Every structure is written in C-alpha cells, then in structure tokens.
Structure 1
Amino acid sequence: MSAFLLSQILMGIAVCFDLVSFQFKEKKNIIKCFICAVILISIHFALLEQWTGAGLMALAALRYFTSLYTSSKKMALLFCISTLVITFFTYAGLASIISCVAALIQTVATFSNNDKRLRQLMIMGTSLWLTHNIIIGSPTAVLLEAVFLSSNFIGYYRYYLKPAKTAEQM
C-alpha cells in the first residue's frame, strides 16, 4: 500500500471523529473527539511529508489534552509559541504559513472558556486548514475539513441560532 493511500485511509477515519465532535454540547466531549482526529491527521501529514502540518497536528493533540484540565492563558501562550517554533523549523512555503495561522486560531479556541467561542474560532481555523489541504492536494483532508466545518455549523445552529420552543409552541 502506498503512503498516499494509507494517508487517505487515516483521514477517512479522522472524518468519523470530526462528524460527531460538534454534535456534543459539552466541551470535554468535543475535545476528546478532536484528540483522536488530530493524531490521525498528524500521521496523515507525515505520510505526505507535510512536516509543518504533521508537527502542528501532533502539537494539537497535546494542546487538546492539556485543555481538558486547564483553560490557562499561559498554557495558550506556550502552545502559540510552540506553533511558531514548529513552523519556523519546518517552513516550506505558503502551506506552512496557512497551517500556522490556522493552528494559532485553534489554540485560542481550545483554551476558550465556552463552547460558543470555541465553535466560532474553530470555523475560522478550519477554513484555513481547508485552504491548506487544497494546496497540498489531499482529497480526504479537504473532505475532512469540509465535513468538520459543516458539523460545526450544524452544531452552532442547533445550540445558538435555532429558535427555542416557547411554552406556547409546546
């Protein structure tokens, strides 16, 4: 099996985690899905020799795990600095810049104190990862981010935009 095919299979599995992630209301459940997905995504990027993406996704797994226990702004800063360091040492052009900005936005999202802000920032970060994945030419990575974005929009609608039923409607 080629590295490309294996990378696409791993992304397919990651899509499953992203499909369900934003259907949860509790931030901890959302984050647990993220951890599973980003580990697979990191391996995917490594198989494609996209080292900035691989490093940033490996860091994201650690970042998400840490965020289960703290929303410390100092930890967010540490992960932002780590994102910049990884990008510096793996820089390979436009894809590296886009993934760096996406990771910085998602770091702020991860350490936010409420799921509404998490969802809003994830929409921005995911849009950048979608662009990154188009540039590197990974079809399942594009699919993953499109599904992730759609799932986030659906969850956001369900929890924040859908009109609540009043007593009269019940």
Structure 2
Amino acid sequence: MTPFLLSQILVGMAICTDLLSFQGKGRKHILVCLIISSSLISLHFVLLEHWTAAGLGLLAGIRFVTSYFTTSKKAMSVFVCCSLLIGIVTYSGVLSLLSCTGAICNTVGSFCSTDRRMREIMFLGTCFWLTHNILAHSPTAVLLECLFLSSNIVGYYRYYVVRPAQTGTLSH
C-alpha cells in the first residue's frame, strides 16, 4: 500500500468522525469527535509530507482536548502562538499560510463557550483548510472539508434557524 493511499484511508476514517461532530448539540460531543478526527488528519499529512499541516493537525488534537476542559482565553492564546510557531518553523509557502490561518480560526472557535459561536468561526477555518487541501492535491481531504462544512451548516440550520422559528411559532 502506498503512503498516498494510506493517507486517503486515514482521511476517510476522519470523515466519519467529522460527520458526527456537528450533528450533536453539545459542545463536548463536537470536541470529542474533533479530537479523533484531528489525529487521523495529522497522520494523513505526515504521509503526504506536508509538515505544517501535520504539525497543526497534531496541535489541533491537543487543543481540542484542552478546550474540552476549558474555554480560557489564556489557553487559546497559547494555542494561537503555537500555531504561529509551527507555521514559521515549517513554512513552505502558500500551503503553510492557508493551514496556519485555518488552524488559528479553528483555535478561536474551539475555545468559544457556546457551540453556536464555535460553529460560526469554524465555517471560516474550514474554508481555509478546504483551499489548502485542494492545493495539496488530497482529494479525500477536500471531500472531508466539504462534508465537514456541510455537516456544520446542516447542524447550524437545525439548531439555530429551524428551532428558533419553531419555538417562535409555538409561543404565539
């Protein structure tokens, strides 16, 4: 089995956890799924030798574990600084800029105290990662980000567009 094929299988496994992530209402449910997904995605980028993305994926797993227990802005700041450091140390052009920007957005999102705000900020981070994965020529990772974005939008719609409208209808 080639490293590329194995990398695509790992992302396929990450897709499953990403799809589950935003279909639950609870912030902690979302974060547990993202911990698993980030680990698999990091290994995927190691196999593709995209070192900035691999380092940021590993850092994301650690960040999601931390943000499971705290929404401290100090902790968030540490992870933003670590993302920047990884981006600088492993810099290799536009892919490093895209992955670092996406990681910073997702860092800010994961330390939000509500899942609604977390979803909103992660919309943006996902767009940076989607662009990164297109340019990195990883078709399964592109699919992963498209599905992650779609799942996030569906979850957001279910919990923050439809339910408030239904609640408003019931109260009249």
Calculate the TM-score normalised by the size of structure 2. 0.96
For residues 168 and 41 of structure 1, the distance between their equivalents in structure 2, rounded to whole angstroms, comes to 45
Percent identity over paired residues: 52
Measure how far apart 1:69 and its partner are: 0.8
Measure how far apart 1:164 and its partner are: 1.3
For residues 36 and 148 of structure 1, the distance between their equivalents in structure 2, rounded to whole angstroms, comes to 14
For residues 35 and 69 of structure 1, the distance between their equivalents in structure 2, rounded to whole angstroms, comes to 13
* Structure 1 residues without counterparts, runs of 5 or longer: none
Measure how far apart 1:167 and its partner are: 3.3
Is residue 2:126 matched to residue 1:134? no
Choose between structure 1 and 2: higher helix proportion.
2
Amino acid at match of 2:134: I
Is residue 2:163 matched to residue 1:167? no
Q: Secondary structure at the match of 2:170?
A: coil
For residues 77 and 43 of structure 1, the distance between their equivalents in structure 2, rounded to whole angstroms, comes to 25
For residues 13 and 106 of structure 2, the distance between their equivalents in structure 1, rounded to whole angstroms, comes to 21
For residues 167 and 123 of structure 1, the distance between their equivalents in structure 2, rounded to whole angstroms, comes to 30
Is residue 2:21 matched to residue 1:21? yes
Match of 2:63 in 1: 63
For residues 18 and 144 of structure 2, the distance between their equivalents in structure 1, rounded to whole angstroms, comes to 7
Measure how far apart 1:168 and its partner are: 7.9
* Structure 2 residues without counterparts, runs of 5 or longer: none
Amino acid at match of 1:164: Q
Measure how far apart 1:61 and its partner are: 0.3
Amino acid at match of 2:130: L
Amino acid at match of 2:111: F
Amino acid at match of 1:18: D
Structure 1 segments of 4 or more deviating over 6 A? none
Amino acid at match of 2:31: I
For residues 164 and 105 of structure 1, the distance between their equivalents in structure 2, rounded to whole angstroms, comes to 31
For residues 14 and 168 of structure 1, the distance between their equivalents in structure 2, rounded to whole angstroms, comes to 41
After TM superposition, the structure 1 = structure 2 runs for residues 1-170 of structure 1, keeping only pairs within 5 Å, are 1-162=1-162, 163-165=165-167, 166-167=169-170
Amino acid at match of 1:167: L
Pairs aligned (count): 169
Amino acid at match of 2:128: L
CA offsets 1:141-168 (integer angstroms, 9 cap, x no match): 0000000000000000000111215338
Q: Secondary structure at the match of 1:68?
A: helix
Amino acid at match of 1:147: L
Amino acid at match of 2:170: A
Greater CA drift, 87-96 or 157-166? 157-166
